[in-house]
Every structure is written in structure tokens, then in C-alpha cells.
Amino acid sequence: MRLVPRVVVLCLLLGGAGACTADARPSRPEAVDPLGADEVRSEAVRLVAEREAALVAGDRDTFLATVDDDALQFVATQARWFDNLAAMPVGDLRLELAGEGSAGDEDVEDDDDEEGELHLPVDFTMRLDGFEQRSVTQRLLYTFRQVDGEVVLVDDRDAEGDRRAGWLPDPWDVAHVVVRESGPILGLFDEETEPYATAVMSDLRASRRTVLAALPDWSGKVVAYDISDLTALEERTPMDVRETGGVAYPVPVRPGSRTVAAHRFVVNPAVAHDGLQREFLLRHELTHVALASRDDSSPRWLTEGAAEYVSRSHLPAEQQRLMAAYVLAYLGDPAPVLTDGLGFYADADASYALAAVMCTYLVATRGTQVLWDLMDAFTAARLRAGQAGPLTAPQVDAVLLRQVGLDQRGLALAAVAWAAAGG
Ligand SMILES: [Zn+2]
């Protein structure tokens, strides 16, 4: 993630509820005999298949005909969701009843409750075609109700289950998305951020070239979100959302899985729409995307410092050193102390600045490859130690001494002295 260098105004836009366009249900002349539980269940199963076929075929009317048209809000969000998927490059669309006996199923209800509703867990799968190799599956909870002898869907989520699973909405779940594709870049915007889409896409293309120069093995494929709903950003940043320029994050193939389908990133519109900050922010986040899991075992100063370094790597080396000297002089601490873990973000200004200076110094004295070699060495050390958690400070020091001849403290001091001598 990237720190915003100065306070930005939080721009939280509360979206409208959307149009309620349901037709009045045609009145039925006579009462209809209610269906039995087995009939309701088999009808619900048929509706799941019908919805999947309609999604794949792009048949909006059939898809919406499965929804209770008295549930006005739900009809509106279902229509928006369908339209979003239709506008996006999606493949491998599937809606499947969650298999009995598979992991996590014990959490989900599959029964008639006291109100005569039927709850069925359904797995929704899709892939962002052309941008990501793997599909992503999420668990939905369909609620069916019998209305005038007809089975219809009245809800597709379970707030409690979503909270337990740590589910965070994607743009297509919370907004009417505006889709922009440019070669290997997929940008998702909403109606509020659309006016900035052209500028953001243009800077994404330029930023991608800079990051590819530093990390030539990267596929260069990017999925980026720039939307007004800040929930996904807020829940993923350890900092105040106003201080957060953006966050890159792994997307598991299904909630709780350790298998990663892709790395995506979300930007804070208040920062991404500021022309001065945007390019640095995009290069920083794209570096996280390009590195994917490669820096997962690295200390925080290396993951954030490397991203900061790449965000300035288009500048001449002298200017990079001047920037380092300037920032250190501004912070005014001749012997700054490194903090790893979440403590890194407690004094984020100082931490990001020191991390950037350390990585810029390493590259200036040893070449860009030193950063990626260090990340690989930390990964190997953690594998050798067979530990699930992060490396301890002594373990980090041992790797660093072997790779560059300095421990963390020595590296910080050397980097600060190098920057000061150049400024
Ligand atoms: Zn970052």
C-alpha cells in the first residue's frame, strides 16, 4: 500500500439506492395451493441452473424473472449486478449448489426456516478473461420464497457468513461499474470516478512500462479499481483510509484458500485523481502487483521500500539521491529506527521515507537486482526455517549480512549517510 504524503480530504460518496422499476405483480384470480417442501427445493435448484444459463447467455429478462419482483431493492441490485457482469470481460461463469461435505459447508444453512424460506448455499465462480489465469469462487447464500405458488429468489447474501469469511465486495457488487480496457490493463470505475478514467488509464499505461523495466519477468497484466465506495480500501489498510493512497492485495481462489488467483489493486480516488500524486501511487501499487507473492517473506521496509524505489526509478540516479536527502532532512532524525510488522505503519511518514532511502541506496550501490535477490533470499530462509510467521529480526539480519554485508541497523545508517553526502 502507499502512504499519502499529506492529508487528503475523505470523499465518501453515499450512492443512491438505484431505480426501482419492478412491474406490479399481475393479480391472480384464485388462491393457489402452496408447494410442498420437496417441490420448493427442486424448483429452487432449477432456478439456480436457469440463472446460470441466463448469465452465460446474457439473457437479462430471464435472469431477473428468477427474482421476487416485490423485493424492489433486491431487483435493483440484481439488475445492476447482471449489467456489470455483461459489461466486463468475464469467463468461466458458474452458479453451483455448494457440494455437500465440502469444506465450510457446516456453516451454512440448507433448510426451511420458520418463515417458510429456503436457504441454499451457492458457489459463484468467474474469471476476468484475458487478465487473470485463474477463476475466483465466492460463496453466496440464496434465499427462496414461495409467492402465489411460484418459487422466487429474495436474497443472495448472508451478512453474518460474509463477515465470518472475511468477504469484501468487489466493485461490481456495490456500484454500477464503468469498464475500461486498454491492452493488458483492466480498469473498473464508477459513475463518480468515470471523469478521471481517461487520465488514470493513461498513467496506468505509462506506469506499467516503468514497472516492467524494473521487473521484466512480470506478465504486465493489471486489474485496478478506482471507485467511490471505500469499504474494500478501508478494510485492507492498517492506516487511516485518508492516509492510504491505495492497496494491492492477493485474491484467493475462494475465501480462506491459500491459493492465490491474482493480485489486484484498489486506489483511493482522492489520491488517484490528484495529478501530482497519481503517477507515484500507480507505480508503487503496480510494483506490489508485479511482485505478487515474491516479497511475502520480506520485512516491511523491503516490500514498501522497493515499491517506493520503483515509483521513482524513472528519475535520474542523482535526483533519486537528492529526493532521499531532502526527505531525511525533513524528518530530521540522523539515526532512524526500523520497525517491522504493523508498527511500520504507526509512524508511516518516517517508515516509508527510511524504507525508500534504504532501497534506493541498495540499488545505487549494487544494482536493481539486489532487491529481488534479497526477497528470494528471505523466502528461502523462511522455507528452510519451516515457519509460518514472518522472519524475526535476527533472522532478517543474518540473511542481510550474507547478501549485502550489513545488518538492518547498519544498512539504515549507511543509507542515511549516503543520502546526506549526496544532498
Ligand atoms: Zn505499498
User: Tens of pLDDT along 129-164?
Assistant: 999 999 999 999 999 999 988 999 999 999 998 888
Cα of 400 vs centre of ligand 1, distance in Å, is 21
Distance 212 CA to ligand 1 centre (A): 17
Q: How far is the CA of 339 from the centre of ligand 1 (A)?
A: 15
Residue 265 covered by a domain: yes
Separation of CA 281 and ligand 1 centre (Å): 9
What is the reported pLDDT for 29? Answer: 52
Q: Calculate how far, in angstroms, residue 307's C-alpha sits from the geometric centre of ligand 1.
A: 6
In 3-state terms the chain splits into helix, strand, coil percentages (rounded to 5) of: 45, 15, 35
Quote the CA–CA distance of 367 and 352 in Å, as a whole number: 21
Nearest C-alpha neighbor of 285 from the set 331, 326, 236, 252: 236
Check whether residue 342 and residue 367 sit in a common domain.
Answer: yes
Whether residue 201 sits in one domain with residue 143? no
pLDDT at 1: 74
pLDDT grade for 115, boundaries at 50, 70 and 90: low
> What domain count does the chain have?
3
> C-alpha grid cell for residue 341?
510488522
| Separation of CA 393 and ligand 1 centre (Å) | 20
Residue 88 and residue 186 share a domain: no
Ligand 1 (ion): which residues have CB within 5 A?
1-2, 304, 307
d(CA 241, CA 18): 26
Residues 267 and 326 in one domain: no
User: How far does the centroid of ligand 1 lie from the alpha carbon of residue 209, in Å?
Assistant: 18
User: What are the backbone angles phi and psi of residue 90, rounded to the nearest 5°?
Assistant: -110, 150
Evaluate whether residue 150 is within a structural domain: yes
Residue 314: the pLDDT is 92
Q: What is the CATH number of the domain that holds 240?
A: 3.30.2010.30
Domain that holds residue 68: 37-167
Residues 159 and 182 in one domain: no
The mean-pLDDT minimum among 61-70, 156-165, 185-194, 200-209 falls in 156-165
Residues 6+ apart with CB under 8 A from 20: 72, 73, 75, 76
Judgement on whether residues 274 and 314 belong to the same structural domain of the protein? no
pTM of the entire structure?
A: 0.85
| Among 123, 151, 167, residue at a domain's last position | 167
What separation in Å is there between the alpha carbon of 18 and the centre of ligand 1? 35
Residue 304's nearest CA partner among 242, 207, 253, 238 is 238
Whether 18 is in a domain gets the answer no
228 domain-assigned: yes
The CA 53 to ligand 1 mean position distance, Å, reads: 41
Judged against a pLDDT cut of 50, whether residue 8 lies above it is answered with: no
**105, 136: one domain:** yes
Ligand 1 center from residue 88 Cα (angstroms): 27
